[in-house]
Amino acid sequence: MKLRAERAEFAEAVSWATRTVGARVTLPALSGVLIDAADGRMTCRATDLEVAAEVSIPVQIDEPGKVLLPGRLLSQLVARFPDAPVELSGDADRVEIRCGRATFHVRGMPVGDFPALPEPAEDAAQGIVKADAFSRLVAQVARAASSDEARPVLTGVKLEATGGRIVAAATDSYRLAVRELAWDADVEGEALVPARALQEAAKASSEAGGSITLVLEAGQVSFLFGDRRLTTRLIEGSFPNYSQLLPEGFETSVIVERAALVEALQRVAVVAMGQANTPVTLSFEDGSVDLSAGNQEIGDAAEALPAEIDGDGMAIAFNPAFLLAGLEATGTDRIRIELRDALKPAVLKPQHDPSEDGGTTSTDDFTYLLMPMRVS
Amino acid sequence: MRIEVAEPILHADMDAFYASVEQRDDPALRGRPVIVGGAGSRGVVAAASYEARRFGIHSAMPSVRARRLCPDLVVVPPRFDVYREVSSQVMGVFRSFTPLVEPLSLDEAFLDVRGAVRLFGPPLDIAGRIRARVRDETGLPCSIGVGPSKFIAKLLSGKAKPDGVRLLRADEVAATIRPLPVSDLWGAGPRTVERLTDYGFRTIGQVADADRRTLARIVGEALGGQLHRLANGVDDRSVTPHEPAKSVSAEETFADDIDDPDELDRHLLRLAEKVGRRLRASGHAGRTVHLKVRFASFETVTRSATLAQPTDRTHDLIDVARDLYAGLRLERARVRLLGVGVSNLTEGEAARQLALDVDQRWEDVERVADRVAERFDGVGVSYAALLDVAEDPGWYSGDDVRRLAGEDGREP
């Protein structure tokens, strides 16, 4: 193999592939980046058997071929290369890398050990979404997924495509985040995507910009961003039927400034943090929301801010970290909180005021359902 | 209005507790050197009477050596049930003076009496009354130290022994403790004392004057800081009446070793249920679930898993216990003992994150079952899978039970 590549492109390709797949190496070959030079392009591939990343860049090829090089070593090298073209040459087990006046010889691994990566089928259903909308959707939903590997289905984000919309949902059984997005495709399908892989895809899509293509297939989903592709295996098992968890109505609704509530919550929660079980209590009454938290070892805190309250007053306690995540995900200047009673889930929604709607027809497209804490 | 008390902390310590109880109950032992402990070749002294101590005998010494020191020694096997009973009598006396009683073991406790001075007089008087009451009600001697802090009170009860009481005024603490040996510092065990001595620290005063970082280098960060504070008479630890439970567990040794996986699963379920009920009864919930398995070979393995949120639900406990058991990948191993436990406890009712789970109703089922068990004294509602566990006669086997839980104890 012999090829010549532009340094910045080469470095970016190698580091993206290794970074996206991460460092959970179970087999030696999985620590490698497969470099495949053919047809005027160099393709870098990396995988941990769950997620596969592939990126291709145009290069000048004198002799096509494949090598499997240690990923971390290679990305550390290229990050320090001087600004000069990169040349790769040699056999699979001894690769020479030259850049400017520097020469490296790296021992490659057997190319045959690298697993064949699943590729999306040509005729698979695909749809296109705007990259920024997609990464925002993931940011809003994926944090609600569980990190507890004991319940694999809850570590995933459920994607459902139907009738020109895509719905993403995640829950760790304490909260549930659901987001809808219009998408430019008449695709029907669903997938339970590992939250970690989806977050990588979101990161890659916000770096790439423009629009991304989602390919939904049995057992895997692929995200295509120009010359890059990320394919992830899906989680097996059935995601809870979350629509039946969403309450029908509410007793009390509250509209409050989001930033003010976030700041007050962060202050009050200082006495609750570090103690996973210390709740922050919110009392809604007489046009005000009173936040309070107490911890025998540290002390207590209270703060009040104005709110528009419709319905009976009530008090409800939450894990401050869960509430904060919900407020951050909701995004609008003002948010709406719907409550039933102190032991039933609360619903957070964006409050779209006519003035800030800016002509878009956004509806209640994000829902954050949060179970309270029971305090005696 | 509260009276300021400068020396509110008492440390009450029974004198040679086990040995005194034995001498009380057997007049023939009075005035004689007695130890309570194992008599065999590997026995150890659990307690020594003051007569025995005169021969240089002390607790934790091998019984064989004690006998060599005192050929007339009487060795008495321990009767822990009796000691426990006497202990609760003694603690009852303490609690009749103040609710702030922190037991350290069966025979010693800290008391904070600042709320009792109005009723019973100054702490030294209270100490006298307590000693008299303990002697009246149990016939046993105890010694009490009175001081401004736990450290000083404990130090003084040791100096007051046997059958005495000592007070050190708060403003005299610093000067009084300075000449004492470093071994009198709380937390300074033999190894620590040796290290301190190696570096030339022999008195508490020298430790008090030392640079804190030097101490930290010699005995470690945490202990160094603690010793430095104590040596300077600083000890703000409060008397905490209720030591919260650290774990709840249940285990069972089988009459015959079991290798049938279904039978083992039923025992696991029953243990999980027992632990869950105890958690709910005490208002606790825990995050870490433990499984203990002892095989016929006596080899014992323990496994644990930590949940994201504390639980007191049998349903959660059995899920985790089953996973842990499955993780052992046993194939018809012969099991002698099974145990299920929960640690990492928090007050269950204090604040609990509720779950969105569709199977939320398990919680209600379990609470109802607990109430039934409480009211009908053991006869209760349980998992149907347990109905044929023969050695547990407590279960009511009716149709209601089958309706509450599926045949295998999982979701109906």
| Burial (CB count <10 Å: 0-12, 13-18, 19+), residue A124 | middle
B165-167 and B142-147 beta bridge pairing: parallel
C-alpha triplet B354, B358, B359: angle, nearest 5°: 80
- Render pLDDT for A139-159 as a digit per residue (tens, 0 to 9): 999 999 988 777 788 999 999
- Render pLDDT for B144-184 as a digit per residue (tens, 0 to 9): 999 999 999 999 999 998 899 999 999 899 889 999 999 99
Query: Which pLDDT value is given to residue B221?
Result: 77
List of E strands, B181-313:
247-258, 284-295, 300-311
Query: Which pLDDT value is given to residue B393?
Result: 37
CB A307 within 8 A of CB A334: no
From A292, A286, A228, A287, select the one nearest A56 (Cα to Cα).
A228
Q: Which of A276, A317, A371 sits opposite B355 (nearest CB)?
A: A371
Token pair of B308 as six digits: 């994201």
A366-370 and A373-375 beta bridge pairing: unpaired
Residue extent(s) of CATH 3.40.1170.60 domains in chain B: 17-80
The total of other beta-carbon atoms located within 10 Å of residue A257's CB is 16
Residue extent(s) of CATH 1.10.150.20 domains in chain B: 178-231
ipTM over 0.85: no
Residue extent(s) of CATH 3.30.1490.100 domains in chain B: 247-358
Query: Taking the model in full, what pTM does it have?
Result: 0.57
Q: Does B308 contact A146 at a Cβ distance shorter than 8 Å? A: yes
CA B352 – CA A174 distance, rounded (Å)? 11
In chain B, which stretches have pLDDT less than 70? 1-3, 39-42, 242-245, 347-351, 357-412
Q: Does B356 contact A345 at a Cβ distance shorter than 8 Å? A: yes
A125-130 and A51-58 beta bridge pairing: unpaired
Q: Which CATH superfamily is domain B178-231 in?
A: 5' to 3' exonuclease, C-terminal subdomain (1.10.150.20)
- Render pLDDT for B354-393 as a digit per residue (tens, 0 to 9): 777 644 445 556 666 666 666 655 555 666 666 554 444 3
pLDDT of A33 strictly over 60: yes
CA B200 – CA A226 distance, rounded (Å)? 73
Query: Which pLDDT value is given to residue A177?
Result: 96
Give the count of Cβ contacts less than 8 A between chain A and B.
57
Q: In what order do the strands lie in the sheet with B9-14?
A: B101-105, B108-112, B9-14, B142-147, B165-167
Query: Which pLDDT value is given to residue A147?
Result: 84
What positions of B carry a catalytic annotation?
108
From B316, B367, B375, select the one nearest B342 (Cα to Cα).
B316
Looking at residue A373, what DSSP letter applies? E
Token pair of B211 as six digits: 């640079």
Q: What is the 3-state secondary structure (H, E, C) of B357-396?
A: CCCCHHHHHHHHHHHHHHHCCCCECCCHHHCCCCCCCCEC
Q: In angstroms, how far is CA B106 from the centroid of its own chain?
A: 9
Q: How far is the alpha carbon of A193 from chain B, nearest alpha carbon, in Å?
A: 20
- Render pLDDT for A257-266 as a digit per residue (tens, 0 to 9): 999 999 999 9
Fold assignment, B247-358: Dna Ligase; domain 1 (3.30.1490)
Q: Does A148 contact B358 at a Cβ distance shorter than 8 Å? A: no
User: Closest-CA residue in chain A for B356?
Assistant: A173
Fold assignment, B17-80: MutS, DNA mismatch repair protein, domain I (3.40.1170)
> Residue A92: pLDDT band by 50, 70, 90 thresholds?
confident
What value does the mean pLDDT of chain A take?
87
From A167, A146, A200, A140, select the one nearest A329 (Cα to Cα).
A140
At B335, which helix (H) or strand (E)?
A: strand B335-347
CB A340 within 8 A of CB A314: no
Q: Does B358 contact A172 at a Cβ distance shorter than 8 Å? A: no
Helix, strand, or coil here: A271?
A: coil
Residues of B within an 8 Å Cβ radius of A? 305, 307-310, 320, 323, 346, 349-358
Looking at residue A241, what DSSP letter applies? -
CB A144 within 8 A of CB B356: no
Query: Which pLDDT value is given to residue A305?
Result: 92
Alpha helices in B139-259 (DSSP H): 150-160, 173-177, 190-198, 204-209, 212-219, 221-231
